[in-house]
Amino acid sequence: MRAVSYSKNNQLTLLHRGAEFFPALKRAIDAAHAEIYLEIYIFADDATADVIKSALMRAAQRGVAVYVLVDWLGTGQKSISQLARDFSSAGVNFRTFNPWFHRGFVRTHRKIMVVDRTLAFLGGLNINDDCFSDDGSHVSLPAPRWDFAVAIHGQLVNAIHEAAATQWLGYGLKDIKTRLQNLRRLRSQHAKPALTVAEAGLVVRDNLRNRRTIQRSLLHAIGHAHQSIYLVTPYFAPGRKLRHSLAMAAQRGVKVTLMVGVGQFRLQDAVTQSFYPLLSEAGVELIEYSKTQLHGKVAVVDDEWATVGSSNYDGLSLFVNHEANIVVRDADFANTLRSHIAQGVLEGRVVTANEVANISRVRRALNWLAYLFYKSVLQIITFGSYAK
């Protein structure tokens, strides 16, 4: 596993929900001069996605080298076919990741865009309308999906560019000459007002050298926490180490708050709730968020360490899929993110210790069976690594 490599004096802008993210994304694409890399799990067929698709096509038509990689499972064959037709007509380089599971179960769950090697976006938002459920049902949500991305200027962009380019190269990039020609035309972009942070680093998960990088970065932060830990995830089903690290932090006096999404998948809810007795007994504050679909994968430790990215705290993200997070060591950024989390906590429902203690034996058994099923599937997929 590679250690996290931090760089200094990066300018970060925290973007909350699609209302802040998609306009920033479109402005960046429209300002591109030479090169765009976009790697995404879901590129939907809806009005929001059409705006981004059209911007990418216009960029390619004015001579920008545009490379778009979408996940085959996340995006779906119907949307992929339409994207392939539209992008081909405009000269956008387009590929799908692991179609028909040719490379096993792994998916690219990353959400990355890099423009002209000067600006990057990274986080949890896909290219889809965040007012509708992202599970294919197209059910209208009561409020926009709760999620975050970060716009990044500075040295860290080089690492994110390398990650995106390497992923594309793994799928057979052949037009290196075109890339180099376009890179010679690079001109600096005017940076948006942003927060200059002390230190920031990229952590990725893959199935080669970075199998545990994201999990270990989080375990390190939790293990060194002194005052508070805020962990937010749609799906909570990590391995034993992460579950017990949260419990141990609470037992040594750290205020630990875990906010999870509920109401989307009944099996996932049952798996998450199977961990409630352990966590509640240790003193972890449990918050269930159901105001809308919770999709953010964020954490803040001691108001000085924070992470935003694509990685859920579950078996698929931590042990199977390709993921990308940014980790930040900066009090101002951490406090900004924590204020958003605090608002989410107020909107959520506290699961009290008394409520957990009074879960019926039948419900406990059903939750445990759900976990055993989940664990068995993940053990097969990960060749026994999941429980660790």
Residue range 131-188, pLDDT digits in tens: 999 987 889 999 999 999 999 999 999 999 999 999 999 864 444 454 445 445 433 3
Catalytic positions, please? 109, 111, 116, 295, 297, 302
In a 3-state reduction of DSSP, which class is residue 37? strand
The answer to whether the CB of 11 falls within 8 A of the CB of 191 is yes
**Burial track 155-187 (b if 16+ CB lie within 10 A, e otherwise):** ebbebbbebbbebbeeeebeeeeebeebeeeee
Determine the average pLDDT of the residues in 282-305.
Answer: 97
Average pLDDT, the chain: 93
The answer to whether the CB of 62 falls within 8 A of the CB of 87 is no
pLDDT of 274 higher than 70: yes
CATH topology of domain 198-381: Endonuclease; Chain A (3.30.870)
> How many Cα atoms occupy the beta-carbon half-sphere of 327 within 13 Å?
20
- Report pLDDT for 195: 75
- Terminal alpha carbon distance of the chain: 16
- Report pLDDT for 135: 86
In a 3-state reduction of DSSP, which class is residue 208? coil
**How far is residue 176's CA from residue 182's CA, in Å, rounded to a whole number?**
10
Lowest mean per-residue pLDDT among 135-144, 308-317, 327-336: 135-144
Determine the average pLDDT of the residues in 186-205.
Answer: 69
Query: How much of the chain, in percent, has pLDDT values that exceed 70?
Result: 93
Per-domain boundaries in the chain = 12-195, 198-381
The residues with which 180 forms a beta bridge, in sequence order, are none
CATH topology of domain 12-195: Endonuclease; Chain A (3.30.870)
The answer to whether the CB of 276 falls within 8 A of the CB of 253 is no
Determine the average pLDDT of the residues in 257-263.
Answer: 97
Residue range 343-363, pLDDT digits in tens: 999 999 999 999 999 999 999
